[in-house]
Structure 1
Amino acid sequence: MLLQWKKEHKDQAIRDIQQFFYDERGEEIGEIAAENVLDFFSAQLGQHFYNQGIKDSLNVVRDRLGAVEDDLYALERK
């Protein structure tokens, strides 16, 4: 697993999952079940979100480098 949860963030995510199940399905699930859901989705989907974040970051860096390049060309003396 790529993601290392801080305890307070993981605990909040577990509570959020429990609340989601209650709100959407009328089911009360325990902490272990909610943690299993979190672990499952982290393992199955985490890499996809991570990879998309890398692609998005790369696009931002490319855009910024393009802007810097434009600024440098504007400084050329003619």
Structure 2
Amino acid sequence: MTIELDKEVRKEAAASIERYFREKMDEPIGNIAAAGLLSFFLEEIGPVVYNQAVADVQERMKARLEELQARVEELDIEVHEEPFQYWRKFERPHKAK
């Protein structure tokens, strides 16, 4: 799977690579070389980052689903209503002897 970036994001990413080389490396890198390096990273390393992000989201969703499942299981306790209560409201309390 190739990770695609829209044109503006790709342009900003290439400019960031150029700046990195200019400020951190001994040699500057041109725009075309920076764009090529970006393409390489997206194709070669991008899937690793993508797959990790998907795994992280799955873990978070799994935890949330477990919380939701626990809440659903508690619903019957929280909202339980006793049936056949109509006549009980007319009954007189029995006196203790």
**TM-score for the superposition, normalised by structure 1:** 0.90
Alpha-carbon offset, residue 44 of structure 1:
1.1
Alpha-carbon offset, residue 35 of structure 1:
0.7
Structure 1: 5+ residue runs without aligned partners?
A: none
Q: Deviations over 1:16-72 (max 9, x none)?
A: 000000111142211110011101111110110111011011101101100101111
Aligned residues: 78
RMSD, aligned CA? 1.4
Aligned-pair identity in percent equals 29
Structure 2: 5+ residue runs without aligned partners?
A: 81-97
Q: Displaced runs of 4+ in structure 1, greater than 3 A?
A: none
5 Å-filtered alignment, 1:29-48, equals 29-48=29-48
Higher relative contact order (CA 8 A, sep 6+): 1
5 Å-filtered alignment, 1:48-67, equals 48-67=48-67
